[in-house]
Amino acid sequence: MELAKWKDWIPSGADISLKPNLGWDLFLPGSVTSPWVVEGVIQTIRGRVGKVHIVEAGQILVNVEKAVRQTRIYDLCKKYNVEWVNISKNKYKKVKLDNGRVFKKIWVPEILTKTVLITIPVIKTHGKTTITGSIKNQWGCLPEFRHNYHPVVNEVLVDINLAVKPRFSVVDGTVCLEGNGPKSGKPKVLDLILASGDIVAADAVQARIMGFDPAEIQSITNCAGAGCGQYEKNKILVVGEKIEDVKSRFQPAKHNPVSLTEQFLRNNRWLRDIVFNTLILKICCWGAQAWYLLWYYFGPGKSYRDEIIHLTKYGRQWK
């Protein structure tokens, strides 16, 4: 954060919202932001900023209250007198977008209209957006119905980032996730932290480290085209480590059965209207949750978790 000159981006005395990725409530390191990264951000900014909040929203398949507690991030709130805000239950405010790709007006959590946003994503692969990082992390700032916009996710990501305007990004690259992210992937230890006042540049550097070309990632090029930042290599100053020295090719994500089923249903107009606009959606959610439970407890999920807990230096942080 010091190398990235965070003080140039965060006004002194400003109230802050920290937005980690808490997009999974089955405990799998790498699928969520690690607590020590969130704690490091709190330790760095406190004393210079005003009130600090940690914010995240639930999903139709994720209980965010469970996620924030099992990651130990809720313990940090108590330790540092930080307010935990479940933005799924918070008030939303309509924000006008003059150049919106999908929305001309978009509902965003009211707290994000009153605070400065620091986004704290985790490095992951993603079946719909190739990577999830500093841009994709704001997907969780939308209301829970956001799953309806999966077909236009790369356009909506422009709109939500224009609306909430994250000022700074600190990217957790300690324990990451590769393969079928953002949930059913394999943890990967990278021992890295990225930081930037430019979320597009942060994603571009992250993509190159992971072995992807940022010019081929639509969320990056879309946000750059909307004026959210730069992704061209010659326009980004990288300090600290060199990309070539920390580069580690990530296995890209493929669609798991849950994602494949959703894609099939959304591509069929007749089925889409029946499934996503009726109580049938609840039945589908139960089926999806059953698959993830089977993957976690009877597939590789639990063994992935145990490898990080028992065989890496990060495991003791969660024990």
Separation in Å, CA 316 to CA 19, 31, 126, 151, 313: 24, 17, 27, 39, 7
* Domain assignment present for 189: yes
Per the structure, how many domains does the chain have? 1
Name the residue among 144, 188, 141 with its Cα closest to residue 28. 188
Q: Round to whole Å and give the CA distance between 306 and 316.
A: 12
* 60 in Cβ contact with 292 (< 8 Å): no
Is residue 4 pLDDT above 80, yes or no?
A: yes
Q: What's the chain's average pLDDT?
A: 94
Helix axes 280-297, 301-311, angle to 10 degrees: 50
Neighbours of 97 (CB within 10 A): 17
Looking up tokens 């943890």 gives 187
**pLDDT value of position 182:** 93
CATH number of the domain to which 76 belongs: 3.40.50
Q: With 0-12 CB in 10 A as exposed, 13-18 as middle and 19+ as buried, what is 122?
A: buried
Separation in Å, CA 237 to CA 214, 234, 241, 243, 253: 16, 8, 11, 11, 29
Comparing 18-32, 100-114, 141-155, 197-211, the range with the smallest average pLDDT is: 141-155
> What b-and-e string marks burial along 32-57, b requiring 16 or more CB atoms within 10 Å of the CB?
bbbbbbbbbbbebbeeebeebbbbbb
282 confidence band (pLDDT: 50, 70, 90): confident
**pLDDT value of position 90:** 87
* 59 in Cβ contact with 23 (< 8 Å): yes
Is residue 217 pLDDT above 90, yes or no?
A: yes
Give 176's strand partners: 188
DSSP at 240: S
* Domain assignment present for 238: yes
Is residue 111 pLDDT above 90, yes or no?
A: yes
Is residue 280 pLDDT above 90, yes or no?
A: no
* Domain assignment present for 318: no
Report residue 90 CA to chain centroid gap.
Answer: 19
Is residue 319 pLDDT above 80, yes or no?
A: no
239 confidence band (pLDDT: 50, 70, 90): very high
* Domain assignment present for 305: no
50-93 pLDDT, tens digit per residue, is 999 999 999 888 999 999 999 999 999 999 999 999 999 989 99
**pLDDT value of position 266:** 83
Comparing 139-148, 149-158, 229-238, the range with the smallest average pLDDT is: 139-148
* Domain assignment present for 80: yes
Beta carbons within 8 Å of 59's beta carbon, 6+ residues apart:
23, 140, 144, 147
To the nearest whole percent, how much of the chain has pLDDT over 90?
Answer: 82
285-309 pLDDT, tens digit per residue, is 899 999 999 999 999 999 999 999 9
**pLDDT value of position 260:** 87
Give the range of the structural domain holding residue 10, as residue numbers without chain letter. 6-254
Is residue 145 pLDDT above 80, yes or no?
A: no
* Domain assignment present for 308: no
* 228 in Cβ contact with 166 (< 8 Å): no
* Domain assignment present for 206: yes
Is residue 150 pLDDT above 80, yes or no?
A: yes
* Domain assignment present for 280: no
Q: What is the mean pLDDT of residues 26-50?
A: 97
Q: Beta strand pairing status for 92-96 and 105-109? A: antiparallel
**pLDDT value of position 99:** 85
